[in-house]
Structure 1
Amino acid sequence: MAEKNADILLLLEGTYPYVRGGVSSWVHQIIEGLPHYNFELVFLGGAPEHYGEIQYQLPDNVTKLHVHYLIENNTTEIKAKHGTKYKQELFDFWQQLQSYFRDCNDPIPTELLKFAFETLGKKDGINAADFLYSESSWQALSKYYLSYCDESSFIDFFWSYRNLYKPLFKIAEIARGLPKVKLIHSISTGYAGILGSGASAISGTPFLLTEHGIYTKERKIDLIQASWIKDSEQSLGKNLNTEMGFIRRMWINFFEQIGRTTYQQATKIISLYDGNMQRQIKDGAEPAKTLVVPNGIKTVRFKQALLQRPEKTPMVVGLIGRVVPIKDIKTFIRAIKEAQSIIPTLEGWIIGPFEEDPKYYQECQLLVDSLDLIDNVKFLGMQNIAEILPKLGVVALTSISEAQPLVLLEAMAAGVPVLASDVGSCREIIEGATAQDKAFGKAGEVVAIASPSDTAQQIVNILQNEQRWREYQKSGLERVQKFYDESHMFARYDKLYKDTMAWPE
């Protein structure tokens, strides 16, 4: 890594450079694609043991990598040195801050956020030891419980309260130690987003936000399903979308507030497609701040794959993705079984890593066995995508959740028709987003979520109709080259960076 001053500070929660995936690939792509900017990276993780070695070779224009973990068993907290009265005044502020996390539809005001990030985790402010052990903190916690929590046990509330708020002290410390840059860019809301918001509030540095998925929505789904949160007997059996246990709702409110505050502090808020932009606006983003910048791919990388396509369309359907429940591999397997009744030679190739969820991988293997598909469905693991695409007749995604899957764009660039479940921006990619885009025609088919029959029918419709296959191929090639080449994405971000940066006088 080069020892230079950074232009842009990237805030990365649980992704690059320690975890491979779509977001991490995008971060690497942006850094390499804009070599005239120097980037400094801040990685935020949970516990250190959850991460291994760095998974990417950091480009030359990365000046430094800072690594911080929010869950650490550190028993050497700073002890308070000020009197009770001084701390009590600060804990009055703490309770005011908490009121925004508890149940408030307004974002945290900038001045209050600034004061919080100048005070929390500080020796002469409210440090972690004060929060965990002081009498003032105990009084604030007790008041919170007695005033608002009338159903959960105090023990459950006590530990949830601590675990919920403790990361804020670490985040505030990190924010005060960040380098001086021209622009802060977070790749999510969540902890990275509130770090960027607080850092921007105390330094005045412009703050950019890009969301691939909608963090708040995804976290809410996780928390609704979380078994580690104990609901009281009063809330059991109720509709989780309307009434749920106080502690579960407390966690959800926390992340919803982080999202609202991040939207307020951001200069610009970027999403990958219109559906997510509308969700951001619904969740509190100012419409004037929002814009869409689609992902892009290096289309020239797939030029050779297009030239290598055989004259006869292979009777092979490829699913490119991780073998995990969110990709709904089982629907793909069942669809291959149904389609095979019409195309007996049909094969289904599952192309992607299967180590992440061994139990689910085993379930998929058992399903293949039970459907007598051992000779027809293959788990190929990681492959060179550009090399394998010419061997496929269709690329299919049966995911139950996606943002803007690059594999669809890569397939289209290689001349392979696609089909995908109606999630995220899949319909926009396949059918077009704007009137100009839609004029190219369809690049494949959109199918219902978790529908083997619909998926099987469209596989057959594409593979058994040569004219339709050629039309889908042509439309896909034209669309990806016109709208989804990475050069367009780089140009948009280059302009965003230039327009948003704080330039020295």
Structure 2
Amino acid sequence: MTAVGIPAFDRIPGQETDVCLIVEGCYPHITGGVSSWLDWLMRNLPQCSFSVISLVSGDEARASKYTFPPNLLRFAEINLKGPPKKAFSGHFKADAELAEVFAEQLTRLLQRGGADVLGEVLSTLDRFPRCPTYHNLTRSEFAWQVVCSMYRRMMPEASFIDYFWAWQSLVGGLFSMLLFPLPPARNYHAISTGYAGLLAARAAVERGARAIVTEHGIYTNERRIEILTADWIEDTIDNGLAVENRRKDLRDLWIDTFESYARTCYDACEKITTLYSDNQKLQLDMGAEYGKLTVIPNGIDLKRFGSLKPEPTSRPTVALIGRVVPIKDVKTFIAAAQPVRDAVPDVCLLVLGPLDEDKEYADECRAMIEDMDLEETVVLAGRVNVLEWLPKIQVMVLSSLSEAQPLTVLEAGAAGIPCVTTNVGSCREILHGTADEDPAFGMGGIVTDVVAPDQIAEGVIKLLRDDQLRRQMGENLRARVHNLYSSDLSRDAYARLYGQAEGREAARWQA
């Protein structure tokens, strides 16, 4: 079956856009989170024209979950696994000397990174007798010489076959970035490091363009957790108790490569932004220059969420707003429901979010609710209009294993709803404020450890049983969000980042 992607389009061929957004694994295929933020960004900067390059992986069918805004002039997908095999373009003559040069440069790019090394790789591609294809670089005699040389340089003690398939993935994604025809733009804005960051770095190195990276969560940290826990990566080297001269294994290869790609991105980008200050410590540890760093928090439409008024409900109502996927740890929320029900028998716990993004996990959540006899207490409501539900909620819960600056917490805060969240991303900063907050707005909720259903239950019970505390924390959070996290503040910061005058006409690309 042929995969169905989202058709590319170019509304004004050849026209330079103000911003080329480069995104991986989100917009426009997935709702919520970074995807919602990207949609917000484009719609709130109508004076800017945008291109979007969306990085995907695999052959599954894809469809847009969003209606594209009128100022999105250009859209294209890049498949990290390369184009279809029918794109083979015949024999590609191998050059042993060029293969060795290329292998040495790629080895340094994967082990150290840097804009200078990326520039060397790009220059070597220009030396090829003709423009190579993805398959020339990954499935040819030349590619075989390159991978064998890199294996000898990087990790000869490990399994070659395992190294080969890791190389196909890691370097194959790199080649997808290097061969893609860059659309003309004034700013190339990657919404993570990784492969998106590499494409922005390439624009800076190859064209002298202005490159920017914004990290909601730290990509290298997320990949490191994924790699360390992956059961599809097999450790093949026994390092024993050795401390020095440690030999590299496959997990090291994956982690080192993504860290090197991040250093390349940071090195090439003019600005490195993130949503909250704690992320900057990780960026600095990865080699980012302090002078490039800046914080631009997420923004909330205060008119939409701040005008919501509490509505009377027949039952005390607690909600988790988010996709039913493992990273949101909905199972911990369900586990917390039992002690909450024991303390507040008529309580209703809602899960408000899509159920179709990981159907197996959603089925496991349903089974867990049934096994714990919680059918009358916990409701998986699916996709909803959050604005209609927030007035009915007394306490918001976020049980995620990882977050950046969750919009759901800011939206609840704008509506004056206190939250119980895990200590992930900027949740503590949103609920408790920073040490230098002036004026200090006070506590807006309760922060727990991750995978701690008892702590979440304790926090929820405390807020449901104490009306005065619940109202006070809700008002504290409302004040913090209204003063520090408005959509207008965030929008203006990105307008300045892109070098756009806020009053510029927006009609030149509208139908």
1:45 equivalenced with 2:56 (yes/no): yes
Supply the distance in 1 between the matched residues of 2:462 and 2:247 (Cα, whole angstroms): 45
**CA deviation profile, 1:277-300 (whole Å, cap 9, x unmatched):** 211111111111111111011111
**CA deviation profile, 1:292-339 (whole Å, cap 9, x unmatched):** 111011111124422x433x8951111111122221222212222112
Deviation of 1:363 (Å):
2.4
Equivalent residue, structure 2, for 1:443: 444
User: TM-score with structure 2 length normalisation?
Assistant: 0.88
- CA separation of 1:470 and 1:147: change in aligned 2, threshold 3 A: closer
- CA separation of 1:450 and 1:155: change in aligned 2, threshold 3 A: closer
1:100 equivalenced with 2:108 (yes/no): yes
Taking only aligned residues, the RMSD between alpha carbons, in angstroms, comes to 2.6
**CA deviation profile, 1:359-380 (whole Å, cap 9, x unmatched):** 3222222222232221111111
Equivalent residue, structure 2, for 1:159: 165
Supply the distance in 1 between the matched residues of 2:75 and 2:134 (Cα, whole angstroms): 25
Letter aligned with residue 398 of structure 2: L
CA contact (8 A) 1:101 1:253 kept: no
CA contact (8 A) 2:16 2:186 kept: no
**CA deviation profile, 1:447-499 (whole Å, cap 9, x unmatched):** 12222221111112111112111211211111111111110000111111118
Letter aligned with residue 169 of structure 1: F
Equivalent residue, structure 1, for 2:274: 271
Deviation of 1:194 (Å):
0.4
SS at match of 2:236: coil
**CA deviation profile, 1:115-139 (whole Å, cap 9, x unmatched):** 4234438653665455345555444
Equivalent residue, structure 2, for 1:292: 295
1:456 equivalenced with 2:457 (yes/no): yes
- CA separation of 1:457 and 1:77: change in aligned 2, threshold 3 A: same
Equivalent residue, structure 1, for 2:229: 225
Equivalent residue, structure 2, for 1:423: 424
Deviation of 1:196 (Å):
0.9
Equivalent residue, structure 2, for 1:8: 19
Alignment gaps of 5+ in structure 1: 501-505
- CA separation of 1:136 and 1:450: change in aligned 2, threshold 3 A: closer
Equivalent residue, structure 2, for 1:170: 176
CA contact (8 A) 2:332 2:452 kept: yes
Letter aligned with residue 130 of structure 2: D
Equivalent residue, structure 1, for 2:261: 258
Equivalent residue, structure 1, for 2:404: 403
SS at match of 1:420: strand
CA contact (8 A) 2:115 2:265 kept: no
- CA separation of 1:479 and 1:230: change in aligned 2, threshold 3 A: same
CA contact (8 A) 1:15 1:24 kept: yes
Deviation of 1:101 (Å):
3.8
Supply the distance in 2 between the matched residues of 1:404 and 1:248 (Cα, whole angstroms): 29
| 1:459-498 matches, cutoff 5 A | 459-498=460-499
CA contact (8 A) 1:399 1:423 kept: yes
Deviation of 1:416 (Å):
1.2
CA contact (8 A) 2:25 2:54 kept: yes
**CA deviation profile, 1:222-251 (whole Å, cap 9, x unmatched):** 22222222322636x999xx9796222212
Letter aligned with residue 225 of structure 1: T
Equivalent residue, structure 2, for 1:22: 33
- CA separation of 1:10 and 1:147: change in aligned 2, threshold 3 A: closer
1:363 equivalenced with 2:335 (yes/no): no
Picking from 98, 122, 128, the partner of 1:90 is 98
Equivalent residue, structure 1, for 2:7: none
Equivalent residue, structure 2, for 1:179: 183
Deviation of 1:268 (Å):
0.5
- CA separation of 1:28 and 1:162: change in aligned 2, threshold 3 A: same
Equivalent residue, structure 2, for 1:117: 122
Supply the distance in 1 between the matched residues of 2:247 and 2:374 (Cα, whole angstroms): 43
- CA separation of 1:163 and 1:464: change in aligned 2, threshold 3 A: closer
Deviation of 1:213 (Å):
1.1
Number of residue pairs the alignment of both structures matches: 486
SS at match of 1:59: coil
Deviation of 1:439 (Å):
0.7
SS at match of 1:163: helix
Letter aligned with residue 85 of structure 2: N
Equivalent residue, structure 2, for 1:503: none
SS at match of 2:343: coil
Deviates more, 1:52-61 or 1:201-210: 52-61
SS at match of 2:209: coil
SS at match of 2:85: coil
CA contact (8 A) 1:413 1:481 kept: yes
Supply the distance in 1 between the matched residues of 2:108 and 2:298 (Cα, whole angstroms): 34
- CA separation of 1:88 and 1:125: change in aligned 2, threshold 3 A: farther
- CA separation of 1:136 and 1:43: change in aligned 2, threshold 3 A: closer
CA contact (8 A) 1:41 1:66 kept: yes
CA contact (8 A) 1:2 1:60 kept: no
CA contact (8 A) 1:9 1:185 kept: yes
SS at match of 1:258: helix
Deviation of 1:414 (Å):
1.5
Letter aligned with residue 236 of structure 2: S
